[in-house]
Each structure stands twice: as C-alpha cells, then as structure tokens.
Structure 1
Amino acid sequence: MTRANSSRAVKRKRITCPEISEYMRMVETGKVPACKEQHQLMAYLRDVFANERLIIDYERIEEYRSYEKYFPFDLFPWEWFAFTLFMCVFKADGTPRWSQELVYMGRGGGKNGYDSFVAFCALTKVNGIRDYDVDICANSEEQAKTSFSDVWNILENTGKRAKFQKGFKWNLEHITCRSTNSTLKYRTDNPKSKDGLRSGMVIFDEVHAYQDWRNIKVFTTGLGKKPHPRRLYTTTDGDVRDGVLDNLLEKARRILAGEMPDNGFLPLIWKLDAAEEVHDKAMWPKACPSLPYLPVLMQQIEEEYADFLVNPAGNADFMTKRMNLPSGNPDYQVTDYENLKTASRALPDLRGMPCVFGIDFAKTQDFVAAALLFRRNGEYMAMHHSWVCKRSNDLPRIRAPLDEWEQMGILEYVDDVEIHPSLVCDWIYEQMAEYDVLGGAIDFYRHTTFMRALDEIGFSAKEKTVKLARPSDLMQVQPVINSAFLNGTIAWGEDPMMRWYTNNVKLVASAHGNYSFEKIEPKSRKTDGFMALAAAFTASDQLPETSEIEFMAPLTF
C-alpha cells in the first residue's frame, strides 16, 4: 500500500514509519538481543524525532523499495532501518538529517549487500541529483570491488539486461545511470590519484583496515560539490588499533552517551557486551542482527566457535570479527586495548622526581626508542621518545601515522645512514634538567653500541648505573607490567605511539610459566617503545618509594 507523502517537517513523539519503528520495537521489547549501544541508539533516536522538526519522505521510501526486487536478497529489518534513516529522513531545509552513517557489525551480516543497495539507490532518479557519483573505497581492490560487482551482476546477469540498458550503461569499472549521469566506481588505496573527485557519496568498506585518515581525507574533500553529500562507513572490527575505526567508535559512543552533538553522524553499533556472552548462542545476534534469518551462517559460526574453544589464541579472529569484541587473548596480547587507553590518561607534574630510563632498538638504521619510568604512590608513570631513520627499508610497510606523531613531538625523523646513539643520550641528558635520572637499562646484547655515548652523560654498566637487561630479566618484570595494566596503575599520557608499540607486542609462553615479549610482525609492527619501557622496568628497583617524599624541581644556575 502506497503511503501518502508528507513533505512537512514535524516533531514526532511517535514514529509512524514502519521501516524505522519496526526494528526499534524489536530492540526495545527484547525481540532481538541487542547490545548496550543499540539500546542507547533507540533512546537517542526517540529524542531526536521528538525534539526536531524532520521530514520522513514516505514516497521516496516506496520508490526505493521498488528496487529491492532486482536484488538477490530481501533487506532485513535492520537494513531498512539503517537505510531509511540515512537516505529518507531530512531536516526542515531539505538536507539529510544524517549525512554520515557508521555500520559496525560482525562478519557475515550482509554489509556488502547493504552497501550495494545504498549505492544503486543513490545513482537513480529517486535520489534525483545529477552527477551524484558514488565511490566505494577499500584498502584492497578485491574488497572495494565486492559491492560494485553486486550491482554489476544485477545489471548483467539477472535476465533483464535489455531493460536495464535503457536506464544504465556499464562496464567492469563504471556503472552510470543515464537519467542522472551519476556513476558508481570502486577505488583502492592510492590517495595521490584521487585529487579532483566530485563525489556525491563515498562508501568506505572495512574501515578497520585504515591505519590513518590520509586516504579518507582525499576522498571526502571532494564532497560538498554536489547536494546532499554523504559518507557511509561499514566494517567489522580488526587488528588495527588507534586507527580510523577506533576514532569513529569513540565518537559514536560519545554521541550515544549524550556527551557531544551528532553533527549528522549516525552510529549503528552491533557487538557483544561482554566476552562471556560468546558462550550463549542466543547472544550472537547482538553482533550480527542478520543471524536469525541466516541458518547457514549460524551453522558456520557454530563450527568456528567449536574451533575457538579448542584453540582461542589460534582463532582470535572469532571474537574480533564475528563478535566485534577485540578483547584479545591473555596468552597472546600484552594486555587488553581498553587497558592501553586507560594508560593514556594525563600525567601529573613529575619535575624533580627520580626516574630510570630504558633504551631499545633492533638496529640503528630503523627505530630507536627511549623511555623514562617513575613510581609514585604505588603507581608507575612513563614518558617516551622515538627516533625513526628516514632510510629504513621498513618504512613503506608501516601504516601508522608517523607524521602526526612527529607533529606531537614524540617522534623525531633522522635523515642519516643511522640513528647515532648520541641523539638518544642527548635526549636523556636534556631530561636530567627536569628529572632526577638515577640510571637505566639497555639490552645486554646491544649495549656496546651505546657504551661510549652513555658514559659521556654519566652512566655506565661498570658503575652499575646501567643495567644490561637479559631476556630473563624481561621475563621477571612481565608479571609486574601485566599487573600495572590490569589494575590501571600505569600511565604514559596521551601517547598514541606507545599504544601502537604495545599493541604490536605478543606474549610467548616459556618454561616454568614465564612469558617473553616478542613482535607480532617484525617489519611493519614495531615494538621499540614498549621494549624501552620494559627495559626501564628491569631497573625499577632503583626507584625509591615516593609516597611521603616531596621533590623540588631542579634548580638552574
């Protein structure tokens, strides 16, 4: 039945649009299990509709619905809910109420199918904007092409080719709607070739793979040249921390908690609330709302769950990608990422306090890091600095935002054949003007490289002011470091590079219940900053208990 269109902007204490209200009621009544963020979303939406004058374009919804028959699937309730809010709800001035949408859900939920439907609809006369180009972006061509190929197959292989040729022209790289001259393309990870884009919509597929915002900014700076610019982010979780996805999730949670205005950003989050929920199959739709409609997918996830129970470390992706809960495995990661964020809290004034340093590097032609470690009132505080050799062969592999960290002052590029030890020791010497540096530690097998430079600033192994840390020493401090993370008794300030370093370290079980620190991946995931901190921990017995001691800042004459 066709509904009468209402072009008037009105406030709605009761939402009468089934595409929106049906899924909302399913969540609110418990018909489908839903995470905390889903319940927050429903309360947030009811508040928006009750207090803002909005247009729900029913006629547009009906016309978009007529396209569903061309697709090899029916849209699930969550998809119509997400689609209608994104494409059919407008402010009083006719602009989209939500111009950005984040769809964050477990693998298998149909995100690519959703992307293809949104992209197809955006090209058409129902959207009605000429030259409203749609770009689907991902880090790999295979991923970027997935939703594009869904639309291409509908036009090419559903037996209606002749009919579609009246309205579209297409090849394996472009799909263009004749009536609007809007073109769908897929694009990959090469930002230098994207200048001059005039997109109407950009779809970012599997955002978890983006380490930084460089590529996204290239695509989004082209928005605004056409009416109703939109961005759609769809993704599972992944292994990259402190990247684009974590930024988007933090923004989403602040919006849902009422801590900041949404500014047109619609956060749709599906995930488990707690790790123990994985053992209750009834909770799995919290992460994948399509699961109740897909018995084959349910069987597949059941098989993966059985493998996960037998070997959690070897099947860590099950929690990360199926359940959107990247809590990590205690036998694999150094600590939970939430603990790393807790460690990123602000540091107190440490001037005049005693501390010890740690230095770490694999080779001076790559990365070198130094850290200072303090202890006060039973808590550890740290600060770090890194040097990166511009001639490192590994730099092209690294996707971390090194330039941003340089601007923050925590990283220093060195344009030379290597990072000379004097640079690192000069930094430590500068810190001695602010802090009481008692001594430090460096890897036993690499001490020779730094011996002379350390001696020049007053530290030496001979005088026992430099500890030559062996692997066994690092094993001894691993429980101390683990306890500090678990209890939130370590802080290093707002230092995303330390979060990156630490998230790149894995624990490997050794004899007698001990663990050693090792790199997850040796070329692109550096660990030097964390290992410098761990080295400092091996010298922490030099730190006095400071709970009742007042320290003066060093005097300068």
Structure 2
Amino acid sequence: MNKKLYPYLQHSHLLQYISKCKSGEILVGQELMKMLDKLLEHFEDPNIKIDFEGAHKRIKFIETKCRHFEAPFAGKPFKLELFQKAFIEAIYIFKIYDDEINKWVRKYQDVLFLVGRKNGKTPLISAINLAEFFIGEMGTKILCASNDYEQADLMFQAINAMREESPSLEKVTRKNIKGIFFGNPKRPKKKGKFSYRNKGSIRKISARTGAKEGRNIKVAAVDEVHELKDNSSIMPIRQALSTQDEPLYIELTTEGVVNDGYLDERLKEARRVLNGELDRPRWLIWLYTQDNEQEVWQDESTWVKSNPGLGVIKKWSYLRNMVEEAKVSKSMRVFVLSKDFNIKQNNAQAWLTPDDIQNEEVFDLEEFRGCFAIGGVDLSRTGDLASARIILMRPGDNKKYTYQKYFIPESKIEKLNKEDRNRFEDWIRKDLVVVSPGNENDFSLVTKFFVTLYQDYDIRVFKVGYDRWSAGYWSKEMEDYGFDTVPVRQEFSSMSEPMKLVETDLKSKLINYNNNPIDKWCLENTALEVNGKMEIRPVKVQGQEDKKIDGAVTLIIAYRVYIDNRSEFMQLVGR
C-alpha cells in the first residue's frame, strides 16, 4: 500500500480491510478486489475529499444503539465486523463537489450489495437505514421495498425490532400500520428533530404494487432484487429519489435463478463498470462472489469469498452440510450454488442424469391383480401429450411400480417433426399411446384407462390426482364411475416435495416404470425450476419447448397423492 495512505490507515476501516485483502489475510473474489482497487485510488484523487465523520457516526450509532433481535444473537449489541464497517465507509467517506448545487456531496448514491445468504445482509442494511433515520437530516423518508410484500416486511420488521430494543430510540418514535415516525404520544416533544414536527418516516412497499411515483424519499433499499423480472417496478422508486441532493439507493441480494431478469442485466452492467468498459462513477458495486465453481467443491477455504460472515454470522457446519447435500441432489445444487455462493444458475436446468433415469426392470401387470393403486393424470386438450398412470406397491417392498398410458390427438401427429413422428408411430404400434380422432384429446379415453384396469385386472384406484386447470368435465366423469379425484396444482408448494422424492427414488432405483420409453423420454426432457424458498417444480428444458414432460408430471402428481395419503394407502397395500 502507498505510504501516503499510512496516515489514513489507523483511522480507516476500509483501508484496513483493503490491506488485509491485498495481503491474503482475508480472501475475497476478483470482482470485489476490482472495486477495492478503485476505492484505493480515491484516497489520492485531488477531486475527491475524504470525510470520515458521517461514516463513523453511523458505525457508532449502530454499535451503541442497535441490538440484534433474532436468535442466537437476540438482545446483543450489533457489533459490526470489519467487512461491514468497510462497506459503510465506502458508502459515506468519499465526497465530490456538485457544481449544480454548489456543495460537497456523497460520491456514491447507488449501491449494489451482493452476498451469500445468511451473512447478515438484511440486518446490516436495516441498521444503516435506522442510522440514516436518526443521523440524517430532518424529514428523511426511507422506503423498504422488495419483489413481494412479505420480503419487504422482513427489512421493515428488522428496523422496527432494533428501534424497540433501544429505549432511547423507542421513546422518541412511534410505529403504526403505515410505518415508523418521529414523535411519541407517551413522551411528546413540542419541537426539534425528535418531535412530531419531523415528518420523516420509514415505510415498506412491495415492488409489485403501483403508485410509487410521487413519493419524495431520500433513502430506498430494495431487498432480493434477483426475483425481479425487469426494471418496471424499480424505476418509480429511483425516480422518487431524484429531488434529493444526496439520495441513497441500495440494492441487496443474493444470486437468483430468474433468467434474463433485472439482476442479470444489472450485473452485466456492474461487471462492465468493474472492467473499465462502462462509466458509472456514482455506483458502488460490492460483490461477494466466487472466482469459479470448481473452488466451491475443491477448497472450502475459498467459501469466504461469497460468505464474508462465515464463522461469525454463518456457521461453517451449516454450509458444509449444504454442500454435501448439493453433491447428490440437483435441486439442492442449484439452490446452494446460487444462494450460498452467488454462482448464477439457469432456472430450467436438466433435472436428472441418464444414470438416474436408466432402469430396464419390467413387470407384468398380472402380478398386481386385485391390488390397490394411486393414480395421476396430466391432461391436455391440444398441444402436449395427455398422460395417465398408476402407482402400485407390494407389502414389505419400498419399490413403486408404475404403469402408464399416453394420449395424443390424431392431427398433432402430422405436425411433429420427422424424428418425433417416427418415434410416436412406433409407440402407437406398441399400444403405449392412444390416438384421439380429430384435433383434441378425448378425455373419456383417459377415464377408460382406469376403468379397464379394474375390469381386466381388478386393480382398484384409491385416489387419482389431476391438474385442476385442465380437467374440465373429466373429474366429474371419473366421480360418476366411483373414482375419488384429487386436484393438484402444478405450483411450487404442491410439486416440490413429491418431485424431490421422485428424484431420490429414481436415484435409488426404487421406481420401476416398466422400461417405458415415453417415460424415459419425458424424464430426460424435464428440467427443474427453483424459487427462493428452495422449492422446485418441473418445467421444460430451456430452448426445448417442443419436447414433452407430461409423463414426469403425472409421476410427480401421483407422488403428491401418495405422500398426502401414505398411511391409508399402505394399509390397503398390506391387505
């Protein structure tokens, strides 16, 4: 480090942090290091004034007034780590002269903070917001936002919990359903910053809701921007900051799985800035990222690059367990790489490997004469295949045996490409696919599939799951025949648990799908989509929208019914 900077070194948390990163005492990724190099240059730039007062006032406020509100740190003072102090300094200490308003102002007004989950990002930004509320100028209005109201509320509640934990803060403020405000009716002050005359506020809002234009705010923090599809909900918030001399706009997030979303575009621009290809002098880009995926699996010491709070805020044992699970579960792998290591994951990646799917075991339906079964259907009037299947089990055997039939309109076959048409014509000859005359699937043929199982093999279907959005009259027709149908939505909440169990059972060779080639084809075509709650659901592989996944969907739907009725079904199996 340049000797000219030594006078600052003892006084600056940021310089101490940079020094330790440069020496290798603290490991950071290349992207953060590029930003730190830019900040280092600011200390020698004659056009930039270094002013520690605002940053250190906020650091002191956080450490003396704010307390944690969640276990295992609940009630304890908010003692900032070096990386957090360095981050706060980076926002506040650099000043540039603004010719338009003729005064020195904060250089960085736009902040992007990307860090692995469970590293305290929401509590940290919440504490900064609370500090702004009390230390900032009178009338400071702060907005907590996110893609949905629940996530925005997490930050708002974090701010409020810190406020309530401090008697000195609580006694000069009040909270109601609209937000947090100055002035306490129990301890009223007639004038001054902490009285009702201060019209400052802290509010929360979902980025999905409208009417954000016109809000004259000074500070806005948007949490989990990886969930945003575009900037349409962000721009009104940013425009609401435009009247301020020193606005502060913070985006905090982990990586996500939304393809071509807002964060993707934001990070492309950010990386161009870091590489010197784009000029955004007011943008602080603070990215905790890995340098490559291989180091995640090969060297756990590098995990701190995307998890700066590891060992203090986030437990090593927790992350080790997550990584071990990610080695054997595709859904966990997608979630862990994106959320814990900030490595972008496609939101429609292939779900299973060929080894997971491969199973040449077969069975004769006659072996299950007189047994009970669970059914699942995925209906499509036109377009995709319609699919119906049953799951059978034997007493004392964990293996699921599944028998299925597919349905397609006659006109659809003619529109298939040559490869798929040859494939379907072969399956039709083998009686694996039933053709409906005309342009639509005849759902009565699906009903006939279940009726025939009873008539020919005395197989009684206990319950049949179906996607309610495409069932139409079909479920009533089934009920007229005495079948118990159960609606299953193709949503994360419904599909995640059974999809994970199907994956585990396929890997363990506990699903005998009778070596059905259409099942194999559908499983190969199926991708998984992951949401922020680590829930998954089946989707088509991106770029392969013409491929069919209906067989995989019916298997997952049937598993949903199995999970929800396991005890009762297993009693029937044991009869």
Partner of residue 468 from structure 1, selected from 416, 421, 426: 421
2:339 counterpart of 1:309: no
CA offset digits 1:32-82 (Å, max 9, x no partner):
111111221222222344335222322223322331212222111111111
Which secondary structure state, in structure 2, belongs to the residue aligned with residue 50 of structure 1?
coil
Partner of residue 351 from structure 2, selected from 328, 332, 344: 332
Partner residue, 2:275: 257
Instruction: Verify the 8 A CA contact 2:528 2:537 in the aligned structure 1.
Output: no
Partner of residue 127 from structure 1, selected from 133, 136, 143: 136
2:121 counterpart of 1:114: no
Which secondary structure state, in structure 1, belongs to the residue aligned with residue 33 of structure 2?
helix
2:58 counterpart of 1:105: no
Instruction: Verify the 8 A CA contact 2:144 2:220 in the aligned structure 1.
Output: yes
CA offset digits 1:444-496 (Å, max 9, x no partner):
94672696xxxxxxxx88xx9897374799xxxxxxxxxxxxxxxxxxxxxxx
Provide the C-alpha distance between the structure 2 equivalents of 1:19 and 1:521, rounded to a whole number of angstroms.
Answer: 41
CA offset digits 1:182-207 (Å, max 9, x no partner):
21111114332323211111101011
Q: CA 1:528 to 1:283, structure 2 compared with 1: closer, same or farther past 3 Å?
A: closer
Aligned residues: 376
2:65 counterpart of 1:70: yes
2:194 counterpart of 1:186: no
Give, in angstroms, the shift of residue 177 of structure 1. Answer: 3.9
Amino acid in structure 2 at the alignment position of 1:209: E
Partner of residue 543 from structure 2, selected from 508, 513, 530: 530
1:361-376 to structure 2, matched below 5 A, reads none
CA offset digits 1:233-254 (Å, max 9, x no partner):
0001121121111111111111
Give, in angstroms, the shift of residue 312 of structure 1. Answer: 4.1
Provide the C-alpha distance between the structure 2 equivalents of 1:108 and 1:309, rounded to a whole number of angstroms.
Answer: 20
Which secondary structure state, in structure 2, belongs to the residue aligned with residue 202 of structure 1?
strand
Amino acid in structure 1 at the alignment position of 2:146: A
Identity of aligned residues (%): 19
Instruction: Verify the 8 A CA contact 1:191 1:214 in the aligned structure 2.
Output: no
Provide the C-alpha distance between the structure 2 equivalents of 1:103 and 1:333, rounded to a whole number of angstroms.
Answer: 33
Q: CA 1:528 to 1:292, structure 2 compared with 1: closer, same or farther past 3 Å?
A: closer
Provide the C-alpha distance between the structure 2 equivalents of 1:253 and 1:131, rounded to a whole number of angstroms.
Answer: 35
Give, in angstroms, the shift of residue 147 of structure 1. Answer: 2.1
Provide the C-alpha distance between the structure 2 equivalents of 1:298 and 1:292, rounded to a whole number of angstroms.
Answer: 6
2:129 counterpart of 1:147: no
Provide the C-alpha distance between the structure 1 equivalents of 2:422 and 2:305, rounded to a whole number of angstroms.
Answer: 46
Provide the C-alpha distance between the structure 2 equivalents of 1:235 and 1:95, rounded to a whole number of angstroms.
Answer: 26
Partner residue, 1:37: 31
TM-score, structure 1 normalization: 0.59
2:90 counterpart of 1:91: no
Instruction: Verify the 8 A CA contact 2:112 2:285 in the aligned structure 1.
Output: yes
Partner of residue 448 from structure 1, selected from 390, 403, 411: 411
Amino acid in structure 1 at the alignment position of 2:304: P
Amino acid in structure 2 at the alignment position of 1:216: I
Provide the C-alpha distance between the structure 1 equivalents of 2:315 and 2:342, rounded to a whole number of angstroms.
Answer: 16
- 5+ residue gaps, structure 2, are 68-77, 99-103, 184-192, 354-379, 385-406, 427-502, 507-512, 531-535, 549-575
CA offset digits 1:76-126 (Å, max 9, x no partner):
1111111122133221232221111111011111101111111112212x3
Provide the C-alpha distance between the structure 2 equivalents of 1:184 and 1:114, rounded to a whole number of angstroms.
Answer: 16
1:492-511 to structure 2, matched below 5 A, reads none
- 5+ residue gaps, structure 1, are 1-10, 335-361, 367-443, 452-459, 474-507, 536-557
TM-score, structure 2 normalization: 0.57
Provide the C-alpha distance between the structure 2 equivalents of 1:207 and 1:287, rounded to a whole number of angstroms.
Answer: 17
Give, in angstroms, the shift of residue 20 of structure 1. Answer: 1.4
Give, in angstroms, the shift of residue 19 of structure 1. Answer: 2.2
1:405-420 to structure 2, matched below 5 A, reads none
CA offset digits 1:110-145 (Å, max 9, x no partner):
101111111112212x322x3321111112323212
Larger Rg, first or second structure (1 or 2): 2
Instruction: Verify the 8 A CA contact 1:123 1:176 in the aligned structure 2.
Output: no
Give, in angstroms, the shift of residue 322 of structure 1. Answer: 0.8
Amino acid in structure 2 at the alignment position of 1:83: I
Provide the C-alpha distance between the structure 1 equivalents of 2:541 and 2:338, rounded to a whole number of angstroms.
Answer: 25
Partner residue, 1:277: 295
Q: CA 1:172 to 1:191, structure 2 compared with 1: closer, same or farther past 3 Å?
A: closer
CA offset digits 1:489-522 (Å, max 9, x no partner):
xxxxxxxxxxxxxxxxxxx999799762135469
Partner residue, 1:299: 317
Amino acid in structure 1 at the alignment position of 2:116: G
Q: CA 1:529 to 1:306, structure 2 compared with 1: closer, same or farther past 3 Å?
A: closer
Give, in angstroms, the shift of residue 365 of structure 1. Answer: 9.8
Which secondary structure state, in structure 2, belongs to the residue aligned with residue 28 of structure 1?
helix
Instruction: Verify the 8 A CA contact 1:35 1:286 in the aligned structure 2.
Output: yes
Provide the C-alpha distance between the structure 1 equivalents of 2:273 and 2:7, rounded to a whole number of angstroms.
Answer: 22
Aligned-residue Cα RMSD (Å) equals: 3.9
Which secondary structure state, in structure 1, belongs to the residue aligned with residue 315 of structure 2?
helix
2:239 counterpart of 1:247: no
Q: CA 1:467 to 1:288, structure 2 compared with 1: closer, same or farther past 3 Å?
A: closer
Partner residue, 1:381: none
Amino acid in structure 2 at the alignment position of 1:271: T
